[in-house]
Amino acid sequence: MSAERLMDLLVSRALGTLERDEIQELAELEARIGSNPTADGESLSEYGQQLESTAAETHAALVEADSVECSAAFQARLIAQGVALVAATSNAQSPKSTLRSRADRSGGGTRARTWVGWLVAAAALVVLVVQSDAWKRRTPEPTAAQARADMVARAGNLVEAPWAATEDPLVSGLGVGGDVVWSPEAQSGFLRIENLPVNDVTKQQYQVWIFDRDRSADHPVSGGVFDVVTSGELVIPIHSDYDISEPFLFAITVERPGGVVVSEREHLVLLASVPE
């Protein structure tokens, strides 16, 4: 039983799940029986070190590789390590013949098979943990431009409309352009805008408005506010707190910081009319 408990603690240490109160227990068991040789000449402590080494190698390979996929060879090595630990635990208690007769009498064979299953699951957990960690390290959140490209590629009934600058002095003659895309299914979309002037965030923000055929044109739905902090092309996500059934016009106004519920449209700078 002590050998099985030692194996349990060794696996927990390899997985990084060892509890604080188990550290002393592991040290005592390793000092008492960890160095006892098994039938194949290795000790339980040596098997525990091999498991840790395999897990560490797997983690390093996944973090440094171009792909976060764990190879079949690595998974096989982890599973083999678990099976070896089971065999080591069985052999550490008594000679093979004694263990065989004891298993026949007390169901030890069933217990060993249970440990095999548990350790295979533990090996799979190592794979899962390191894959998840590697994925987080190597796969940052997509940019707005990437998310827009994905929406354009996947959406089946995407609404698209080009921007046209108004005669407002803020944008007149600056060559402001771009487009807006909107997914009725996702109830969200993206603005792509070029050459819109940088705004003073302490005094004003740009606000998006969505005109829906099921709503009065006097009360368009806000698609959110945004700032322009650099020149060039911007891609900005937009969404609505209300369902938009059939958008026919998008607009951008200049409002006070935080936006407004109803715009006076004193500074209407861009319009995008959805083609019929």
Q: How far is CA 102 from the centre of its chain?
A: 48
d(Cα 30, Cα 6) in Å, to the nearest integer? 7
Mean pLDDT of the region 171-189: 93
Residue 77 has pLDDT above 70, yes or no: no
SS3 267: coil
pLDDT above 70 coverage of the chain, percent: 65
Helices 108-138, 96-106: inter-axial angle, 10-degree rounding: 100
Please report which confidence band the pLDDT of residue 78 belongs to, taking 50, 70 and 90 as the band edges.
low
In the chain, which ranges are continuous DSSP H helix?
2-15, 20-29, 44-64, 72-93, 96-106, 108-138, 144-154
For 90-127, write each residue's pLDDT tens digit: 554 443 333 333 334 344 444 444 444 445 555 555 55
Q: Identity (one letter) of the amino acid at 244?
A: I
The 3-state DSSP class for residue 207 equals strand
**Which of 50-64, 153-167, 186-200, 219-233 shows the lowest mean pLDDT across its residues?**
50-64
| Residue that is written with structure tokens 């002590």 in the block | 2
Phi first, then psi: give them for residue 238, nearest 5 degrees: -135, 155
Q: What is the DSSP letter of 186?
A: T
Is 50 exceeded by the pLDDT of residue 218? yes
In this prediction the pTM is: 0.53
* pLDDT value for 58: 56
- CATH no. of 144-273: 2.60.40
Using an 8 Å Cβ cutoff, are 185 and 155 in contact? yes
Q: With 0-12 CB in 10 A as exposed, 13-18 as middle and 19+ as buried, what is 88?
A: buried
Report the relative pairing of strands 247-255 and 233-239 from DSSP bridges: unpaired
Residues 272 and 163: their CA atoms lie apart, in Å, by: 5
| For range 58-81, the mean pLDDT | 54
Q: Where are the domains of the chain?
A: 2-138, 144-273
